[in-house]
Chain A
């Protein structure tokens, strides 16, 4: 399974890209917590920032135990500040 996680704002700047591709091997689903761990491993530049970020699945924040599959739209959201 390959997952694509969209990055924005300071996360995209730190990573130097607007999306992270995660090769998760031969599994059909992972939890959001496992996806966050995979992101830290794939992109050490954002590892320290992940503590203040949440994963959004299909435009909704999820908890670490939420299942995620390849069909889901994933985004890393943190340090927002509109207005």
Chain B
């Protein structure tokens, strides 16, 4: 659906069934409190503004969006199949391990399950660190490991397939 925000701009309003936070951990390392959250969300992820995180010198936000073209063909979106209990556990483990290894201040990860239309966000990783270098390195390693280890599979959906499923 479409609606207008306070400044009169037309924005898309996403109807997202947000599941409860699946996993949230706070760990203490060398007197720094690290905040770690990991969650799976039904459908596209809502837009957010990067938060201010106390004592962080760098806050890095990565968002993975669904491209409109896949293998030279237009698509309607991606369907994410998730083995939920394991994906939640591994996302949280990975966030904790990454926070510890790179001495991060915070790691927040969200991943979609189910159908996500093109242009929408299906994955978000926010990393807060004292300095830029460890934040960027942590971001890269987290995403590489997630794609290798976390049981999430994506499947291309064409317009016709979406119509057939409706």
Residues of A that sit less than 8 Å from B by CB:
6, 8-10, 56, 59-61, 75, 77, 79-83
Cβ–Cβ < 8 Å partners of A8 in chain B: 81, 83, 151, 153
Q: How far is B153's CA from A79's CA once the two chains are assembled, in angstroms? A: 8
Known: A59-B86, A81-B147, A81-B152. 6 other contacts (CB 8 A): A60-B89, A80-B148, A82-B82, A82-B146, A82-B152, A82-B153
> Size band of the B side of the interface?
20 to 34
Q: How far, in angstroms, from A81 to B146 measured CA to CA in the complex?
A: 8
B residues whose Cβ falls under 8 Å from a Cβ of A: 64, 80-83, 85-87, 89-90, 111, 122-123, 143, 146-155
Q: How far is the CB of B140 from chain A (nearest CB, A)?
A: 12
CB-CB under 8 A for A81 and B153, given A8-B81, A9-B81:
yes
* Chain B residue, CB-CB nearest to A82: B152
A59 in contact with B89 given A6-B83, A81-B152 (CB within 8 Å): yes
